[in-house]
Amino acid sequence: MNRNSCFCLLLIIALVGKASAATQYDDTVKALMERYQQVEAQLDRSVRYSRKTETQGNTTVERAWYNGADDPIKVAVERVSSAGRELTEYFSLDFDDAGAMFVLTRKETAQPDGGTQVDESRQYFGNDGKLLRELRKSGSFKPGEALDTVRFPNTTVDLSKRPKDDRPEEQRAVAEYDFLSEPEKIASALRQAGPPEFDPFAGVTGDSAKYRVIHNTASPDGRYAVALGFTAKDIDWEGFKDPDFPGTYSANGWQPDDQAPDPDYGRIVNYIVDLTTRQILGITNGDYFGTKQRYNHDQCSVTWSPDSKTFVEVTSWKWGYNRCTAAKISSAGKLLDPVDLGKYAEKAAQGHLGTHKGPKYNGSIDISVDTVTAGDVVNLTILGQGTSGDHKGDVYFSLDEFIRVRETPSGLRLETVNIHTSPEN
C-alpha cells in the first residue's frame, strides 16, 4: 500500500469513527428527550417524597418521584432566597446505573424594577458523564407577568468553546461519577426518611401478595412491569428477603417441592402486572429469580415499545441467554400469549449462516435487544461465543435481526423483517 492509499484509509477510518460517535450521541440525546416526556406524563400517578430545609433565610426543597415499580424516575432540588429561585431537575435513563442524564436548570432572578429575569439550561450528558448537548434560553418579565419561557427560542451552546478541563483524568472521572450519582443519593435519602408526601398506590392491593416487582422493568408510561412470583398459592416473602440488598427479594437456587402432588407447584414464574391496579395480567414465560435487575452476571432485561404495549424479556447469564420472550398487551389490557422469540431468532440465525459464506452457527448463544419500535419490530443481536479453553471469549458469529411481533386472530406471530451480519464483525 502506497503512502497516499494509507493516508486515505486512515482518513476513512477516522471519519467512520467520528460518524459512529455522532450517531451514538444523537441516539442518547433522543432517548433522554423521550424519557423526559414519558416521566412528565406519569408524575401525577407516581409516589412523591419531599423534604424542606431552611437555613439563614434560604429555603431548599428536595423532591423525588418513584414509579409503581419502586424505581426513581425524577429528582428535583429547588432553592429560594431573597435573590430569587433556582430549580434543578434530573431525569435519567437509569438512576441506579449512574448513566446518561438530562438536567434542566431554571433560575429566576429578581430585578430592581420588580420584574424577573429567567435563565434556563437544558443539558444532556452521556453514560460517561460527558456533556453531549446544551440548550439555553433567557427572558425578561414585567412585574406580575407569568414566567413562561415558551415564547423564547433555545440557543445551542457551542461546546467546543467551553474552557478545557485540565484536571487529571482520574480526578475528572471521579467528579463525573459523583455528579451522575448525586440524584440517586438524594432520592434514596428521601425515600428512607419517608413516608411519601403523595402515594397514589396507597390502599391498592390487587394481587400484590403474589408477586414482587423486578426493578427497572417498568414500561415507558410507568403502568406495567415484570415481577417475580411462584405457582404456589401461599408465599412466605419474608423468607426470600435478600440480606445483602435490603428491600429486594431473591429465590436463587430455589427448587419446587418434589413431594407436592403437582410437579409445577412452587416453581418460579415471571408475571406481567398492572402497577396501577396491582393486578397480574399473565405469565411471561420468563423464570428470573430475583427483584434486582442484575446479580453479578445473571440479569433480566425488559425492552418495551414506545406505546408500552409490546415487550421483550431476556434472562441471561455470563455467556448466553436463558430465555427470550416477546409478548403484547391488548387494547383491552389483556396479556396475549407470549411467544418464544429466542427459539425463533436462533432458527433464523442458523438459516442465514447456512446460506451465506462465512462463520458457522457455533458457541454459547447470547441475545441482546436494542429496541422495540412503534411498529413492533424487535431489533436484536444474536451471537455465538466460546466459553472455555483457548476459545474462551471468542466470537464465532454476530447477527443483527429485525423481527416483527404481529397480532393475529390466532395469537402473536413472529416475522423476520431483515437479518445481516453485525457491523463490527
Show the 3-state SS of the chain.
CCHHHHHHHHHHHHHHHHHHHHHHHHHHHHHHHHHHHHHHHHHHHCEEEEEEEEECCEEEEEEEEECCCCCEEEEEEEEEECCEEEEEEEEECCHHHCCCEEEEEEEEEECCCCCEEEEEEEEEECCCCCEEEEEEEEEEECCCCCCCCCCCCCEECCHHHCCCCCCCHHHHHHHHHHHHHHHHHHHHHHHHHCCCCECCCCCCCCCHHHEEECCCCCCCCCCEEEEEEECCCCCCHHHHECCCCCCCEECCCCCCCCCCCCCCCCCEEEEEEECCCCEEEEECCCCCCECCCEECCEEEEEEECCCCCEEEEEEECCCCEEEEEEEEECCCCCEEEEEEHHHHHHHHHHHHHHCCCCCCCCCEEEEEEEEECCCCEEEEEEEEECCCHHHCCCEEEEEEEEEEEEEECCEEEEEEEEEEECCCC
pLDDT in tens, 135-182: 999 999 999 999 999 999 999 999 988 888 788 888 888 888 888 899
Residue 180: CB partners within 8 Å, gap ≥ 6? Answer: 92, 98, 99, 101, 125, 129
Q: Give the pTM.
A: 0.86
Domain boundaries of the chain, sorted by first residue: 8-193, 203-295, 301-425
Q: Is the pLDDT of residue 375 over 90?
A: yes
Give the per-residue pLDDT at 264. Answer: 58
Give the per-residue pLDDT at 261. Answer: 52
Contact by Cβ (8 Å): 46, 223: no
> What span, in angstroms and rounded, lies between the C-alpha atoms of 11 and 361?
35
**Mean pLDDT taken over the chain:** 89
In one-letter notation, the amino acid at residue 417 is V
Q: Residues 365-384: what's their mean pLDDT?
A: 96
> What span, in angstroms and rounded, lies between the C-alpha atoms of 16 and 242?
46
Residues in the chain: 425
Q: Residues 346-361: what's their mean pLDDT?
A: 91
CA 11 remoteness from chain centre: 36
pLDDT in tens, 242-256: 988 888 999 988 776
Taken in order 201, 207, 208, 213, is the CA torsion positive or negative? Answer: negative
Give the per-residue pLDDT at 4. Answer: 56
Residue 365: CB partners within 8 Å, gap ≥ 6? Answer: 320, 321, 346, 382, 383, 384
CA torsion angle for 134, 132, 35, 342 (degrees, to 10)?
170
pLDDT band at 13 (very low <50, low <70, confident <90, very high): very low
Question: Range with the lowest mean pLDDT among 45-54, 135-144, 164-173, 288-297?
Answer: 164-173
Contact by Cβ (8 Å): 276, 268: no
Q: Is the pLDDT of residue 425 over 80?
A: no
Give the per-residue pLDDT at 171. Answer: 84
CA 42 remoteness from chain centre: 16
* Nine cell digits for residue 86: 433556582
Contact by Cβ (8 Å): 270, 228: yes
CB-CB neighbours of 260 under 10 Å: 13
CB neighbour burial string for 364-391, b if at least 16 within 10 angstroms, e if fewer: bbbbebebbeeebbbbbbbbbbbeeeee
**Percent share of the chain, pLDDT over 70:** 92
pLDDT band at 10 (very low <50, low <70, confident <90, very high): very low
Residue from 78, 80, 76 nearest 57 by CA: 80
